[in-house]
């Protein structure tokens, strides 16, 4: 099938891309039996073109049913009259595309844009009579639609010279049978008319010429990387999407990749005072109740029902609560499950682009995977609140997706910071590894008084210049453990010197020691503050690293499992006994590059035979006297771990206590900001 050029200067490859529009435009192609030699006269049947006195072109794209497709280009004069021409063959339908004269057309300055309309033979003997066609004109109304210039922004961590980005825009209409698509304007004969355009960027600006408000399919091509996508976006005055060349789907919520794939980006860290971004109990972030079973896939034939299922499992994290709308590769979230109805797990994943063919871009099921993921972030065994820190790569549309294995559960998430897509800021924060060091233990008086935190008590903990943390660190990585708690409660860690935030860092119970990793901004006095609520408890805090200027960059990836002692993946197929140390080789495995200096892991113990704790540390070194996670009998317990990689490219896991299985998932890796020359 061939589609006519929108502009005579459009390349052949661009014409082929535009041909895809017809392939998934949901037209009814009806074969006809007239001989291939027949002709259909168009003269006098199309009507007049209202283009404000401009001379222009009419492209007629014809589908001949079983016969070959035809493409014809003719002209209209300043009076809007068409030249005479005939259509060969027996077309089943025709698409008419109107655009101002290519030699004078400049989508950046011309006050008139292009338009398209279609007809199919099933409409009867007058199927080619489409009446007058009005092109979108700047500031002028047509059937309630007012023409405006579609002018948007492009962002990237690298230079955006003129011509780097090519854009084709094509307005969709009600032929898509989508209740969420606004209708196109109609002419006197009842035909829908949509706008379209093609252009290249001018610096950090892009345009689709003059158009009407509505839903568009955009073909966006980054000539610098070779990545090409088809995206769907709603466009209106004051609401033109930004193209983020470093983001998945270039920042669009719905897309498919025609060439290339989303790239991994190494970013620096931007800490935030812990802020609540999701609380299904209060309808914050997800507004239609607790997160239901599964990942949002619904078999319903109702698009409204499917949409309700999707939004129950997705959280937009960009453009909110201190996280910018663009330039974000990942977020750091403390995720808590509350009132779970039974044992199970929660997995946090980037929202994936739609896939995998032209038709799927209009299938709202395409971006939702019905299968359970192979990794997890949060394991729940009872209704008690359970939390875990998560490095979450941001997916299509700045959105992350939640998979819940065990039934309607309230989910709470607090954002601790975000990672950019390659900042050139000289004071950007990178990761600085530190040997795990205990800086607080209320059981023996390390770092403060030797007694429990009482309910509502806040204590400062010095961290800057301590335990390998640089003096200029802006945030510190700490593992917080609650032990010997008198009842269920929670811990908040935050910068010293500010009001106590609502966000929590750790939830604990009376029955078990609980640990959670936290990344906490450092106060102006070089300290963090720690507060305990609802129950008195001892606390243990171990420093694991920091973020400071000149540190290394972190790349977040889609989680991948690299070790599982139940199956023998990456480590021996047996439970780890008391004192066992097993190495897990990571460099070159699970997308971890050879140059990685540290890794971000989710480590889980499962099927343990009693109580114990696990320590993760660089391979080939001596295990420190600290812990990363504490566990009890037959309860799955995960924790986020950020640890340097040993000289041999491995990390090690040591078990202290009863035998237990261990799982290791990679969530990201650290690379040097300025690697040495080779």
Q: What is the pLDDT of residues 454-474, one digit of tens each?
A: 999 999 999 999 989 999 999
Is-contact 303 180, C-beta < 8 A? yes
Beta strands in 339-398 (DSSP E): 344-350, 378-380, 386-393
Asked whether residue 356 carries a pLDDT value surpassing 60, the answer given is no
**What's the mean pLDDT in 68-94?**
70
Q: For residue range 199-251, what is the model confidence (pLDDT) as tens digits?
A: 999 999 999 999 999 999 999 999 999 999 999 999 999 999 999 999 999 99
Question: 513 versus 127: which is more confidently predicted?
Answer: 513
What is the model's pLDDT at position 257? 92
pLDDT band of residue 54 (cuts 50, 70, 90) is confident
Q: For residue range 146-170, what is the model confidence (pLDDT) as tens digits?
A: 999 999 999 999 999 999 999 999 9
Asked whether residue 189 carries a pLDDT value surpassing 50, the answer given is yes
Q: What values do phi and psi take at 23, rounded to 5?
A: -60, -30
**Eight-class DSSP state of 75:** E
In this structure, the strands spanning 133-134 and 49-50 are: parallel
Residue of 322, 270, 325 whose CA lies nearest to 553: 270
Beta strands in 314-427 (DSSP E): 314-316, 328-338, 344-350, 378-380, 386-393, 399-404, 410-420
CA–CA gap between residue 152 and residue 143 (Å, rounded): 25
**What's the mean pLDDT in 336-348?**
90
In this structure, the strands spanning 165-171 and 254-259 are: unpaired
Question: 123 versus 669: which is more confidently predicted?
Answer: 669
Is-contact 14 166, C-beta < 8 A? yes
Please give the helix or strand (H or E) that residue 183 lies within, else none: none
For the CA atoms of 35, 41, 47, 48, the dihedral, rounded to the nearest 10 degrees, stands at: 120
What is the model's pLDDT at position 21? 36
pLDDT band of residue 52 (cuts 50, 70, 90) is confident
**What's the mean pLDDT in 63-80?**
67
Residue with the two structure tokens 């704790």:
613
% of the chain at pLDDT higher than 70 = 85
Q: What values do phi and psi take at 441, rounded to 5?
A: -150, 105
Residue of 295, 323, 328, 309 whose CA lies nearest to 401: 295
Is-contact 598 552, C-beta < 8 A? yes
CA–CA gap between residue 467 and residue 462 (Å, rounded): 10
CA–CA gap between residue 101 and residue 108 (Å, rounded): 15
- Name the average pLDDT for the chain: 85
3-state secondary structure of 512: coil
What is the model's pLDDT at position 426? 66
Residues in the chain: 678
Asked whether residue 24 carries a pLDDT value surpassing 80, the answer given is no
Asked whether residue 178 carries a pLDDT value surpassing 90, the answer given is no
Sign of the torsion angle spanned by Cα atoms 312, 316, 320, 321: positive
% of the chain at pLDDT higher than 90 = 62
């Amino acid at each position: 099938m061939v589609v006519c050029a929108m502009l005579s200067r459009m390349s052949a490859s661009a014409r082929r891309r535009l041909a895809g529009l017809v392939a998934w435009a949901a037209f009814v192609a009806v074969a006809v039996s007239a001989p291939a030699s027949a002709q259909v006269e168009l003269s006098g049947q199309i009507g007049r073109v209202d283009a404000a006195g401009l001379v222009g072109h009419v492209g007629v794209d014809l589908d001949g049913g079983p016969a070959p497709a035809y493409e014809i280009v003719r002209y209209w004069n300043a009076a809007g009259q068409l030249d005479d021409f005939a259509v060969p063959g027996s077309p089943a339908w025709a698409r008419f595309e109107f655009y101002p004269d290519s030699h004078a057309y400049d989508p950046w300055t011309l006050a008139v844009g292009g338009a398209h309309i279609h007809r199919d033979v099933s409409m009867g003997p007058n199927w080619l009579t489409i009446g007058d066609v009005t092109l979108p004109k700047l500031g002028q109304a047509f059937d309630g639609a007012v023409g405006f210039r579609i002018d948007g922004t492009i962002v990237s961590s690298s230079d955006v010279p003129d011509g780097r980005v090519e854009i084709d825009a094509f307005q969709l209409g009600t032929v898509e049978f989508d209740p969420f698509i606004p209708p196109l304007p109609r002419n006197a004969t009842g035909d829908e008319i949509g706008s379209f355009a093609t252009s290249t960027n001018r610096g950090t600006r892009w345009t689709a010429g003059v158009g009407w408000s509505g839903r568009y399919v955009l073909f966006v091509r980054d000539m610098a990387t070779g990545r090409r996508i088809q995206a769907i976006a709603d466009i209106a005055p004051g609401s033109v999407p930004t193209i983020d060349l470093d983001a998945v789907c270039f920042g669009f919520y719905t897309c498919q990749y025609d060439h290339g794939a989303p790239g991994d980006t190494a970013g620096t860290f931007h800490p935030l005072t812990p802020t609540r971004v999701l609380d299904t109990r209060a309808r914050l972030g997800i507004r239609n109740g607790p997160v239901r079973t599964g990942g949002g896939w619904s078999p319903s034939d109702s698009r409204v029902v499917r949409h309700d299922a999707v939004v129950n499992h997705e959280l937009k994290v960009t453009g909110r609560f201190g996280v910018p709308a663009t330039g974000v590769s990942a977020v750091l979230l403390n995720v808590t499950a509350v009132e779970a109805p039974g044992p199970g797990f929660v997995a946090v994943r980037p929202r994936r682009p739609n896939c995998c063919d032209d038709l799927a871009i209009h299938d709202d099921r395409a971006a939702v995977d019905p299968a359970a993921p192979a990794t997890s972030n949060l394991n729940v065994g009872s209704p008690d609140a359970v939390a875990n820190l998560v490095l979450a790569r941001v997916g299509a549309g700045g959105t992350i997706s939640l998979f819940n294995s065990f039934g309607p559960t309230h989910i709470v998430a607090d954002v601790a910071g975000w990672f950019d897509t390659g900042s050139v800021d000289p004071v950007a924060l990178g990761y600085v590894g530190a040997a795990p060091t205990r800086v607080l233990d209320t059981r023996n008086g390390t770092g403060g008084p030797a007694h429990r935190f009482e309910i509502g008590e806040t204590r400062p903990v010095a961290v800057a210049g301590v335990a390998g943390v640089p003096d200029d660190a802006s945030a510190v990585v700490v593992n917080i453990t609650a032990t010997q708690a008198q009842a269920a409660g929670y811990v908040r860690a935050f910068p010293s010197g500010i009001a106590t935030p609502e966000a929590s860092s750790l939830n604990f119970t009376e029955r078990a020691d609980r640990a959670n990793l936290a990344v906490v901004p450092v106060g102006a006095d070089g300290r963090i503050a720690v507060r305990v609520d609802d129950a008195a408890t001892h606390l243990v805090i171990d420093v694991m690293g920091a973020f400071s200027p000149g540190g290394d960059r972190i790349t977040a990836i889609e989680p991948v499992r690299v070790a599982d002692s139940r199956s023998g993946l990456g480590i021996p197929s047996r439970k780890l006994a008391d004192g066992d140390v097993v190495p897990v080789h990571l460099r070159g495995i699970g997308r971890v590059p050879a140059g990685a200096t540290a890794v971000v892991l989710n480590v889980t113990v499962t099927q343990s035979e009693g109580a114990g704790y696990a320590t993760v540390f660089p391979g080939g070194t001596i295990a420190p006297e600290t812990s990363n996670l504490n566990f009890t009998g037959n309860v799955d317990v995960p924790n986020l771990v950020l640890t340097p990689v040993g000289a041999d490219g491995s990390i090690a896991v040591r078990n202290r206590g009863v035998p237990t299985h261990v799982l290791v998932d990679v969530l990201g890796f650290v690379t040097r900001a300025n690697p040495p020359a080779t």
